Structure 1
Amino acid sequence: MSQLPMEQPILIPSNLPSIFDSILTLLLTIVLPLLALHLIHHDYQSFLRLGPGGTPSTPTGYLKIKLLSILSLRDPLRPLPIPPHFRPQTGHLRTLPKRRGPRPIIAGIAPQRQQSQRSSPSTYAALVARLRLLAQEPRNMLLERTSCFEKHSSGLFARTPITRTCGGEICHAHPSDGSMHLTLHPADVKVVIEAGWGERHPLARGGWFRRFVPREFVLVYAPREEADLEVLMEVVGAAVWWVSGLDVKGRGGEGDGEGERRREADVGEIRKAREENECWSCRVHGCGRRTVEGMVDDA
């Protein structure tokens, strides 16, 4: 009876693990950098698609924003705290109706833009008309000038600001989406967020970040219809009150008296509350006497 031949053992080259290590190292060396470059390129293109804003649309501007994003607000829907010593403790808004539907998608820091639920051209034109109506009423003591923050669209400025923003800027609208940036009393920021009409700017942290935007800087979502526009003008009225001390109630100001429009108690309290805050100088923001641009430019 013949014996079956014994199976020969499979011999594995002793250098095979090192070959695998070399191949893996080569793949990681080539693939990971290419993947990283692809992701950076895609992110940079997304930055460019936000359009012109306060930050130049350049690689340097992109790098600046990416570095700032590391320290930006993680929850822009968290209301701004009001210190116990802050005066006045209450803002201009008492309540706002709840905004219908979900919040829009927001992208970017500077520029910060709304990606969904944008204004139609006619709705944005109506918003611009309402803002200009405020500026055209002499008793409001407002100016329309190139935004100190955006530098590519117009904004409303207080002739005699009592709250220090960049050059006295109150608000500016974005032609690309219809949203607005404005500065509000912290209590009004809370009302706007809780009613679903806006959110804090990612850099609105106060302290060192004041060189970029005020601590009370807010993005208000674009109006979608006439009802939205009415609410937004109430918010604009609150911004005018906070920066200039004027109570315009979001209207052109017709039919009301000077006593109703500038409430000295409010002006005194706001001015006192801001005395020790960091100055918002045009030197820091690079703003100044610029050529006036229409709010509908570059739409």
Structure 2
Amino acid sequence: MADLLHLPPPPLLPTSLPSILNSPLLQTLFTLSILALATVYIQHDYHKFLALGPGGTPATPLGYLKIKLLSLVCLRDPYRPLPVPPHFRPQRGYLSPSTLHTRPGKRPLVQGIAPQRQRSQKSSADIYARLVRGLRALAKEPRNRLMERTSCFEKHSSGLFASTPITRTCGGEICHAHPSDGSLHMTLHPADAKLVLENRWGERHPLAKGGWFRRFVPREFVLIYAPRSEEEVDVVLGIVAAGVWWVSGVDVRREENVKDRGLSEEDMKKAKEENECWACRLHGCGEKSREKMVADA
């Protein structure tokens, strides 16, 4: 114990240390290190942006900068659905819990804003081809009043458009599919979007916030996950049918949905003969009601 008491005091720090820390050379080296790390990060992040493939934003440094700025104000929780605005007519959507079961497994990894893409659980070539055939079959049926055109949102992939839209979207676009992963973007009735989110078939687009962001995408704009099997292709086409119904008012599964949509066989025949939109036939909407239906979609 006595030896411990007589230990020499610890050496004092050099009086020149503060001056070293404040030296211009050290500050310059620190600044250069930060700039080097930032450059490496930006370069890596830019390549991740390019890896998402073509989309609505040009794959250029300026496009990358635009997306980084938008990322500061985008949605933080893409799985949280929006409520159905009280002025929307109809309040009920096209889908129901009995027709849309829960998607098995975990959600895929999704990255990006524009483009927004899946990075896992992508469709195989055969499954994607089956999905495209289903979309084109919808467009070929004259009663559906649909057209296949280049996507107004993406500008690189094909989309389904309503010839007489009753809900405002970009050029009447209903949906478009992404060849790189098999996913789709579409606009849905808020009630249907809620059901899709809750059953893990998709998520909201990061810019689907409404208000000022409508210049980019509608508030009800969602990403539908890529189908992984033939059964899931049928499910996704059912969700596409909900998009068609919301944007155009046409029920492309008219024969299948007679009972579910509350129409009798006689009503179905009359609707076919009179070439009425199914949304208006079901909810009795005239021109004024139709205007309310599309007001803020």
**Shorter-chain TM-score: what band?**
0.7 to 0.9
Please give the TM-score of this superposition, normalised by the length of structure 2: 0.85
Aligned in 2, Cα 1:267/1:128: closer, same or farther, shift over 3 Å?
Answer: farther
Task: Report what 1:273 is aligned to.
Answer: 292
Paired letter, 2:186 = L
Paired letter, 1:18 = S
The CA RMSD measured in Å over matched residues stands at: 2.5
Sequence identity of aligned pairs in percent? 62
After TM superposition, where is structure 1 displaced by more than 4 Å over at least 4 residues in a row? 7-13, 250-253, 255-258
Aligned-partner SS, 2:147? strand
Q: Report the Cα offset of residue 224 of structure 1.
A: 0.3
Task: Report what 1:68 is aligned to.
Answer: 70
Q: 1:275-290 residue pairs with structure 2 within 5 A?
A: 276-277=295-296
Task: Report what 2:51 is aligned to.
Answer: 49
> For the Cα contact (< 8 Å) 2:168–2:294, is it kept in 1?
no
Match of 1:259 among 264, 267, 271: 271
Unmatched segments (≥5 aa) in structure 1 = 1-6, 279-299
The structure with higher relative contact order (CA 8 Å, sep 6+) is: 1
Q: Does 1:139 align with 2:143?
A: yes
> For the Cα contact (< 8 Å) 2:205–2:221, is it kept in 1?
yes
Aligned-partner SS, 1:157? strand
Distance 1:14 1:230 in 2: 76
Distance 2:80 2:134 in 1: 29
Q: Report the Cα offset of residue 226 of structure 1.
A: 0.9
Q: Deviations over 1:182-225 (max 9, x none)?
A: 00000000010111100000000001100000001000000000
Q: Deviations over 1:49-98 (max 9, x none)?
A: 00000000001100111111111000000011112232211100012111
Distance 1:238 1:163 in 2: 13
Q: Report the Cα offset of residue 277 of structure 1.
A: 3.2
Distance 1:40 1:190 in 2: 35
> For the Cα contact (< 8 Å) 1:91–1:187, is it kept in 2?
yes
> For the Cα contact (< 8 Å) 2:88–2:293, is it kept in 1?
no
Task: Report what 1:167 is aligned to.
Answer: 171
Please give the TM-score of this superposition, normalised by the length of structure 1: 0.84
Aligned residues: 271
Aligned in 2, Cα 1:151/1:8: closer, same or farther, shift over 3 Å?
Answer: closer
Aligned-partner SS, 1:268? coil
Paired letter, 1:268 = C
Distance 2:93 2:189 in 1: 6
Match of 1:121 among 97, 119, 125: 125
Q: Report the Cα offset of residue 156 of structure 1.
A: 0.3
Aligned in 2, Cα 1:11/1:174: closer, same or farther, shift over 3 Å?
Answer: closer
